[in-house]
Chains A and B, each alone.
Chain A
Amino acid sequence: MNSLIKLELTRSLRNKKFLFFSVLYPSFIYLIFSSSAGSGQRVDDTGLTVATYLMVSMASFGALTAVLMGNSERIAKERESGWVRQLRLTPLPGRGYVLAKTASAAVVSLPSIIVVFLVAAAFKDVRLDTWQWLALTGVIWAGSLVFAALGVAIGYVASGDAVRPITMIVYFGLSILGGLWMPSTTFPRILQDIAEWLPTHAYAALGRAIERSEAPHTTDVAVLAVYFVLFAGGAAWLYRKDTLKA
């Protein structure tokens, strides 16, 4: 399976568009958003500066991009092209395909997190303790698994034509409503209520807790865990259905 992970990764690294959107794009948005508001300003009730607050948002957004896009579109297209069938004629275990995809997406999502951190530290003077940087990287990276599972599920449910629009709707919907682009506290009440239960909201909240030197809130961890079980279970179920039908 390592050989498949390596090849998936080689392919991702060759795909300039994918690399741009997952590794560089979040940092661009970070610079634009954090410059439009004075970086020293505090985001109400969190006590964090805009620059610090947005850093977690955009690092989470970058990781989300890498794992969600990387999985959903490739899987849907490769189911259609028959590559998934071809792999089933090899000794590779069935789950190996999905694991290799997720592993290679995780390798790309790591730099997308770190680049945002570097940009934030270099241009926006974000300063945190060493343990905070490490914990942030670890939590955001691990949390992205929830969205990798979602990507797999979308890949198995969507056809090759439909996968991009579906992914885009889910991607922007989760990013914007979950408060990754702007604090959800600026939303109308009803949207705020929805936002609180979105996985992206809980995801970014984990990182913000670390920035405030707090332990992540149990609710956020629970929300993410429930979504992970839901997405991974859905993905496994759809995968099995697809395997029987193919």
Chain B
Amino acid sequence: MTTTAAPPTTTPVVGFDQVTKTYESVRAVDGLSLRLHPGETVALLGPNGAGKSTTLDLLLGLKHPDSGTVGVFGTSPREAIVAGRVGAMLQSGGLMDEVTVAELVKLACSLHPRPYRAADVLARAGITQIADRKVNKLSGGQAQRVRFALATAGDSDLIVLDEPTTGMDVSARQAFWATMREQADQGRTVLFATHYLEEADAIADRVLVLHRGRLLADGTAAEIKARAGARRISFDLEGSIDERALRDLPFLTALDVSGQTVRIQSSDADATVHALYGLGAYPRNLEVAGLGLEQAFVAITEAEEAKQS
């Protein structure tokens, strides 16, 4: 496949071991340990200030940890980049002014040890039509696609993307993720930071939730939803409502009664509903729906903050 020797399967693509990075008094990354494995598509999820960008900077060797170690393919980040194993697109990554899109992509290809043809890179990033445009005349979404082209100019094994769809409209965003999936389907490991929670849910096999520089959750999007009380049950009850009985329902994680309407969050909706009928209740307009990752995320974050204060 690639010209470099395949690493032994035990070598993680990315390994963080007790990594800490402090700016003045702020711990941007706090004792972070994580491993990425070959072929995974991983979302790094967290609100602004969670430490996502610092984590990516450490991973790419743009910053150095105060303590702990960062390894990429078993080497230092810089060595991995020089070997052409990492392609990356940063939010803060600027573009060279006064040159055309095609010229810039050609430059990226010529710098990569295992380059693709510039025409192919342009086509894959969907920027063939704007190839002759000057880089400083691009819209935000177009500039993002050019950055993506620079990150995929060669046959890299790991693609790192920091909030890649910032500035794109909905259709551009969908097109972008389709392109990205192709990268993942070719066996690449993809790591992307996002605060668009639906993106993590829709794209990633694995979601890492980062909060205050620490890893709050690590699992599939479904597992993370489950952890936060995964399903929402709502129904109407006639007559007086025995809140105490409802509160004792199995797997219930939250209860809200307003008027005749009851809303429940449950980590096992089937069991909760079954027990509800067991109470002899006759729920009307029963709805069971999954929690969006966003709500799951808010719940995990709140639980964490409650624990700390």
Which positions in A face B, CB cutoff 8 Å?
Answer: 3-4, 7, 10-11, 14-15, 77-78, 80-86, 88-92, 244, 246
B303 close to A (CB within 8 Å) = no
Instruction: Judge whether B99 and A85 touch: CB under 8 Å.
Output: no
* Known contacts A3-B111, A7-B103, A86-B95, A91 near B84 by CB under 8 Å: yes
* Known contacts A3-B111, A4-B111, A88 near B62 by CB under 8 Å: yes
CB within 8 Å of A: which of B91-109?
92-99, 103-104, 106-108
B90 close to A (CB within 8 Å) = yes
3 cross-chain pairs, A with B, having the tightest CB-CB distances, nearest first: A82-B94, A81-B94, A86-B93
Of chain A, the residue at the smallest CB distance from B96 is A83
Which applies to chain B's interface (DSSP): helix, strand, loop or mixed? loop
**Bound: A92/B60 CA distance, A:** 14
Chain B positions 48 through 91: 1 when the CB is less than 8 Å from some CB of chain A, otherwise 0: 00000000000011111000000000000000011110111010
For the complex, count residues of B whose C-beta is within 8 A of A. 33
Give, as a whole number of angstroms, the nearest-CB distance from A19 to chain B.
13
Question: Which residues from chain A contact B61 at a C-beta distance below 8 Å?
Answer: 88
Of chain A, the residue at the smallest CB distance from B134 is A14
Of chain B, the residue at the smallest CB distance from A244 is B64
**Bound: A3/B99 CA distance, A:** 13
Choose from A11, A82, A92 the contact partner of B93 (Cβ within 8 Å): A82
Give, as a whole number of angstroms, the nearest-CB distance from A245 to chain B.
9
Question: Which residues from chain B contact A80 at a C-beta distance below 8 Å?
Answer: 94
Instruction: Judge whether B81 and A11 touch: CB under 8 Å.
Output: no
Question: Which residues from chain A contact B88 at a C-beta distance below 8 Å?
Answer: 89
Of chain B, the residue at the smallest CB distance from A88 is B62
* Known contacts A10-B99, A11-B99, A91-B112, A86 near B94 by CB under 8 Å: yes
Instruction: Judge whether B90 and A78 touch: CB under 8 Å.
Output: no
Question: Which residues from chain B contact A85 at a C-beta distance below 8 Å?
Answer: 62, 90, 92-94
Q: List 16 A-B contacts (CB under 8 A).
A: A7-B96, A7-B99, A10-B99, A14-B98, A15-B98, A77-B97, A82-B92, A84-B94, A85-B93, A85-B94, A88-B60, A89-B88, A89-B90, A89-B93, A90-B111, A91-B112
